[in-house]
Chain A
């Protein structure tokens, strides 16, 4: 059964990069452009992992993270934060809220695959 990754980012470009990175693996990548959309999709699809942007309109990554952590079905879903910034305060906040890992943009495709692969199994389907 393929694993499901939810990519929540207001940048269509980043969502495309994420989808491209996991294309060769047996996984389904779902997309949302803000935290509100992300929560709706997460509640319905129960993803195995969420790649979550920090800064987004409507609902940002930290708000969505708070909602995930207080949701009975979603509180244990591993979250990897994606951010264009790297301030010490932000990293401390990620740790406090149980974020499994984070990636600072720009990131290499291989880097995101490696980080996600440490948390969920990524399998290349046999042709």
Chain B
């Protein structure tokens, strides 16, 4: 499952970023902390069923804004406040989670997804409890840095 999950995460990231944003992704090894002191945004969607857990999509706040502009074909000046950015991050995370869920479903592991939510902050850390499969992929895309993380635990 560990190896498979990493492959699924990479495929989900490539699919969502190329289709919705026309961004290429370059997978890299993350050295040190993802956070650099600036504000960050994390979209999150829960998965429950044969596997329980969460999918997270992290980026810096400025890059989340850039992704929102690209998604909606809008200029930065047209993005008002955080609401649109939150909606965009939630939707991109939802699409990632949907991709993962479909792969799990097709492998006979039926799951459902929760609604997306968004976390904002300068430095935060999600820690899994024991027994959870944790997979993280890191990539650069159109000048921004993105981290995708899945925390999953089989229920049976």
Q: Chain B contacts of A96 at CB under 8 A?
A: none
- Beyond known contacts A84-B99, A104-B98, A108-B19: 7 more, CB 8 A cutoff: A12-B87, A20-B72, A83-B98, A86-B98, A86-B106, A88-B106, A107-B19
> Residue A106 at the B interface, CB < 8 A?
yes
Contacts of B59 in A (CB 8 A): none
Digit string of B105-127 for contact with A (CB within 8 Å is 1, else 0)? 11000000101000000000000
Q: Which of B29-37, B88-96, B128-136 contacts the other chain?
A: B88-96
A10 vs B87: C-alpha distance when bound (angstroms)? 11
Q: Verify if A75 is at the interface (C-beta below 8 Å from B).
A: no
Sample of 21 A–B contacts (CB below 8 Å):
A11-B87, A11-B91, A12-B87, A13-B72, A13-B88, A13-B90, A13-B91, A17-B72, A55-B113, A57-B115, A84-B94, A84-B97, A84-B113, A85-B101, A85-B113, A87-B106, A89-B105, A104-B102, A105-B95, A105-B98, A107-B19
Asked whether, in the complex, the Cβ of B72 is within 8 Å of the Cβ of A87, the reply is no
Q: Does B15 contact A (CB under 8 A)?
A: yes
| Contact residues in B for A16 (Cβ distance below 8 Å) | 72
Chain A residues with Cβ under 8 A from B16's Cβ? 106
Residues of B with Cβ closer than 8 Å to A?
15-16, 19-20, 71-73, 84, 87-88, 90-91, 94-95, 97-99, 101-102, 105-106, 113, 115
**Please, how many angstroms separate the alpha-carbon atoms of A21 and B90 in the complex?**
20
- Give Cα A10–Cα B114 distance, bound, in whole angstroms: 13
Say yes or no: B19 contacts A106, CB within 8 Å.
yes
Q: Which residue of A lies closest to B97 (CB)?
A: A84
Known A-B contacts A11-B94, A13-B91; A87 and B105 likewise in contact (beta carbons under 8 Å):
yes
Most chain B beta-carbon neighbours within 10 Å: one of A20, A89, A106:
A106
Q: Which one of B73, B91, B98 contacts A85 once the chains associate, using CB atoms below 8 Å?
A: B98
Residue of A nearest to B18 (CB): A106
| Whole-angstrom CA separation of A106 from B59 in the bound complex | 19
Residues of B within 8 A of A20 (CB): 72-73
Say whether A85 contacts B105, CB under 8 Å. Answer: yes
Known contacts A84-B98, A106-B20, A108-B19, A17 near B71 by CB under 8 Å: yes
A3 within 8 A of B: no
A11-B87, A57-B115, A106-B15 known; A84 vs B95 contact (CB < 8 Å): yes
Nearest CB in chain B: distance from A55 CB, A: 7
Q: Does A14 contact B (CB under 8 A)?
A: yes
